[in-house]
Amino acid sequence: MNRLLLLAAFLFSLPAVALAGRLQGVTLSGAPLITVLGGYAQAAPLQATSTITNASGRSLRLGLQRQIRSEVSGSENNFCFGVNCYPPTVTTAPSPITLANGGTDNSMVLDYTPNNYAGITVIRYALYEVGTQDSTYLTVRFDATQRVLATVASRAPESVLSQPWPNPAAAGSAVALRYDAATAQGGTLQLISLATGATVARQGLGQPSAALLGYDFGNAGGIASGRLVVVGSRAEVLVLPFGLQPGLYSCLLLDFRGQLLAARRLQVQ
């Protein structure tokens, strides 16, 4: 009997042990993985952002630590957290933030400067509760393998990703692209400014459109500005450049591993 009681006590303790060290109720947008694409010769840094949401039921003091998994020699990376930004020599933000229950924080900005060195740098960012070992993670893959963004991927066949139409597009208009659903399943479509290298919109693919964003596609007025919206049966994507500054943008199709499949250039007037 005593052995059975000890076994039962052990089994009931397993879930608590499995969850130890995980920061419960706190999420990082884009987690677990964000891929940022750019050219290694571009002057502006490649940049990722993430919104922190606290649904833990209590106010939290949070810190951020940068953990480099692989790094291109000669490149630089830095991050902003709270009201401060930190150089490459700082690994852990010395100033935590306090985030109330139900609150969000948008101060997490993650920069990468290739310095004309080609390659991929992978960095994991650990968000942790101060005074504990509880953490949640976001990994960012900075891909600067091409001198100019997407020069090779722009030659991908149109059966994978069509050319944008219309192109040039007026700000506020809808731009249609067709993509191969089987190839892109589980991947993402990103809209990147060629002037700054910043990702201005990102949409996951391979899921029913209604489940993704919950829009009523019969009501164009219900579509939010500046978002990528999947319509139809994983066959067509609308890029909505409403509010974008005139200039050149790249529409990038990535597979589920974050590898670049195809790229198309879009001009907004």
Given 146, 181, 207, the domain boundary residue is 146
CATH number at residue 173: 2.60.40
Phi-psi region of 243 (alpha: psi -120 to 50; beta: other; left: phi over 0): left
Report d(CA 94, CA 97) in Å as an integer: 10
Given 146, 177, 201, the domain boundary residue is 146
Report d(CA 182, CA 155) in Å as an integer: 19
Residue that is written with structure tokens 């500046």 in the block: 226
Residue that is written with structure tokens 């106010």 in the block: 59
Q: 12: Cβ–Cβ under 8 A, 6 or more apart, which residues?
A: none
pTM score, two decimals? 0.61
> Quick check: is 171 in a domain?
yes
Inform me whether the pLDDT recorded for 4 exceeds 80.
no
pLDDT average, residue stretch 245-269: 82
Mark whether 99 and 205 lie in a shared domain: no
Mark whether 190 and 136 lie in a shared domain: no
Residue range(s) defining the domain that contains residue 175: 153-268
Cβ atoms of residues 25 and 56 within 8 Å: yes
Mark whether 141 and 53 lie in a shared domain: yes
DSSP structural state of residue 148: S
- At 154-201, the pLDDT tens digits run 666 777 788 888 888 887 777 777 777 777 778 888 888 777 667 787
Mean pLDDT is lowest, of 1-5, 30-34, 120-124, 170-174, for: 1-5
pLDDT at 151: 58
Decide which of 30 and 14 is more confident.
Answer: 30
Q: Kindly provide the b/e burial profile for residues 185-197, where b requires at least 16 CB atoms within 10 angstroms of the residue's own CB.
A: eebbbbbbbbebb
pLDDT at 98: 98
Cβ atoms of residues 22 and 56 within 8 Å: no
Mark whether 30 and 112 lie in a shared domain: yes
Mean pLDDT is lowest, of 45-54, 88-97, 205-214, for: 205-214
Q: 57: Cβ–Cβ under 8 A, 6 or more apart, which residues?
A: 25, 101
Inform me whether the pLDDT recorded for 48 exceeds 90.
no
CATH number at residue 73: 2.60.40.10
> Quick check: is 15 in a domain?
no
pLDDT at 237: 64
